[in-house]
């Protein structure tokens, strides 16, 4: 009903303005319910955060508009709920962080687009940055962790995924939906790990600074099934619900899924998260700034064993360009789904270290 009413209001205002124009009178202003002015925040019909802007300045003006996304209008000016951007499009690259420059390299802004416990299966090419981390042996490959492609030769993952019973992983797979099946409309590619960079403050006996970078060989060939994600550069996150990805189990102590699943999980503020996770010898200081939490209030969706190192992300829009923005890395949890939150390494807290590793390799 709301979208139909907005359309009727818009049409009435347009006709009135037309009559006034041909009669030589000034245009009129026709208000909407809960109207907003230029610069005010708004929520779009697609659930994304937006900013009310003159429709002529809206980066999405060339794609179909939704009636329910109008903020207000006079008959000479339409104020529309445009997708919120992290920076102004004209912002110079010299003021961007290295990780942001890398993001722009893979997601140029002049590109045009039309706009997991309890999780759903992912589709081919839906998450081309997703990687599986494996330990090879005579018996085959044991896939125990996930990770994300962030450049043409680096994967980001959890530090605790860099060793299993004293043995380091040696293989990365990208472009796969099912790690066991060979015919699922995907094009998996395996790479050797030839460099492991663990955060210097990480300790295997504690659950802090749980972040690492893996360097692969040869470099990735960027395709529709293997493409880097962007790293979210600020602590503020424009979405209240994030998507977790993983190949892990679908229930606590259950069998490995081996299929890429995704689950949408609400963010839980750190203060509330600290109340839900008991202090112990591995977690003596509670939740710290370099961590974040997510919890499904219905206890149905969560990350689980085997999902470690995988991304917590959302789809970010700059104009008509969409890109996966990683805000967290799956670190630990007490159970899979239920009343206990999942804990993730907050990526924005470690950008200085990440960039130092990337720069040293240039």
Q: Which of 72, 129, 148, 160 is catalytic?
A: 160
* C-beta of residue 60 within 8 angstroms of C-beta of residue 82: yes
Retrieve residue 23's tokens.
């009669």
Query: Rounded to whole angstroms, how far apart are CA atoms 341 and 319?
Result: 33
Q: Which of 308, 331, 340, 348 is catalytic?
A: 308
Query: Rounded to whole angstroms, how far apart are CA atoms 2 and 55?
Result: 20
Q: Which of 69, 176, 210, 302 is catalytic?
A: 210
Retrieve residue 206's tokens.
């504690």
Strands 171-174 and 321-333: unpaired
Answer positive or negative: Cα dihedral of 146, 237, 343, 351. Answer: positive
Q: Among candidates 88, 78, 74, 14, which has minimal Cα distance to 52?
A: 78
Count other Cβ atoms within 10 Å, centred on residue 356.
12
* C-beta of residue 312 within 8 angstroms of C-beta of residue 243: yes
Query: 362: which residues sit within 8 A by CB, 6+ positions away?
Result: none
Q: Among candidates 288, 264, 263, which has minimal Cα distance to 274?
A: 288
Q: What's the Rg (C-alpha) of the chain?
A: 23
* C-beta of residue 109 within 8 angstroms of C-beta of residue 230: no
Retrieve residue 225's tokens.
């099934």
Query: Rounded to whole angstroms, how far apart are CA atoms 291 and 348?
Result: 10
210 is catalytic: yes
> Degrees (nearest 5) of the Cα angle 100, 105, 107?
90
* C-beta of residue 193 within 8 angstroms of C-beta of residue 172: yes
> Degrees (nearest 5) of the Cα angle 264, 146, 339?
40
160 is catalytic: yes
Strands 311-318 and 321-333: antiparallel
Query: Rounded to whole angstroms, how far apart are CA atoms 223 and 112?
Result: 18
Retrieve residue 270's tokens.
């750190």
Q: Which residues are catalytic?
A: 160, 210, 308
């Amino acid at each position: 009903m709301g979208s139909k009413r907005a359309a009727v209001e818009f049409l009435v205002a347009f006709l009135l303005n037309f009559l006034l124009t041909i009669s030589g009178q000034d245009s009129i202003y026709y208000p909407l319910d809960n109207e907003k002015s230029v610069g005010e925040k708004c929520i779009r019909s697609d659930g994304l955060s937006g900013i009310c802007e003159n429709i002529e300045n809206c980066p999405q003006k060339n794609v179909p508009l939704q009636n329910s996304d109008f903020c207000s209008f006079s008959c000479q000016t339409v104020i529309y709920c445009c997708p919120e951007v992290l920076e102004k499009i004209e912002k110079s690259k010299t003021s961007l962080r290295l990780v942001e420059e890398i993001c722009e390299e893979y997601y140029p802004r002049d590109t045009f687009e039309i706009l997991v416990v309890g999780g759903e299966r992912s589709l081919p090419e839906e998450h081309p940055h997703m990687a599986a981390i494996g330990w090879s042996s005579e018996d085959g490959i044991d896939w125990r962790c996930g990770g994300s492609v962030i450049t043409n030769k680096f994967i980001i993952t959890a530090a605790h995924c860099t060793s299993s019973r004293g043995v380091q992983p040696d293989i990365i797979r990208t472009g796969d939906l099912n790690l066991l099946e060979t015919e699922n409309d995907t094009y998996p590619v395996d790479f050797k790990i030839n460099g492991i960079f663990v955060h210097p403050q990480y300790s295997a006996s504690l659950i802090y600074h749980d972040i690492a970078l893996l360097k692969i060989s040869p470099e990735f060939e960027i395709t529709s099934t293997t493409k880097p994600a962007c790293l979210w550069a600020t602590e503020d996150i424009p979405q209240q619900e994030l998507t977790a990805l993983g190949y892990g189990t679908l229930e606590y102590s259950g069998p490995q899924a081996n299929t890429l699943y995704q689950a949408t999980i609400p963010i839980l503020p750190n203060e509330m998260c600290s109340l839900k996770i008991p202090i112990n010898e591995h977690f003596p200081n509670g939740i710290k700034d370099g961590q974040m939490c997510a919890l499904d209030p219905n206890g149905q969706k969560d990350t689980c064993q085997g999902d470690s190192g995988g991304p917590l992300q959302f789809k970010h829009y700059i104009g008509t360009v969409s890109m996966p923005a990683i805000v967290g890395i799956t670190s630990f949890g007490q159970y899979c789904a239920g009343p206990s939150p999942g804990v993730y390494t907050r990526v924005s807290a470690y950008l200085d270290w990440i960039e130092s590793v990337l720069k040293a390799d240039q």
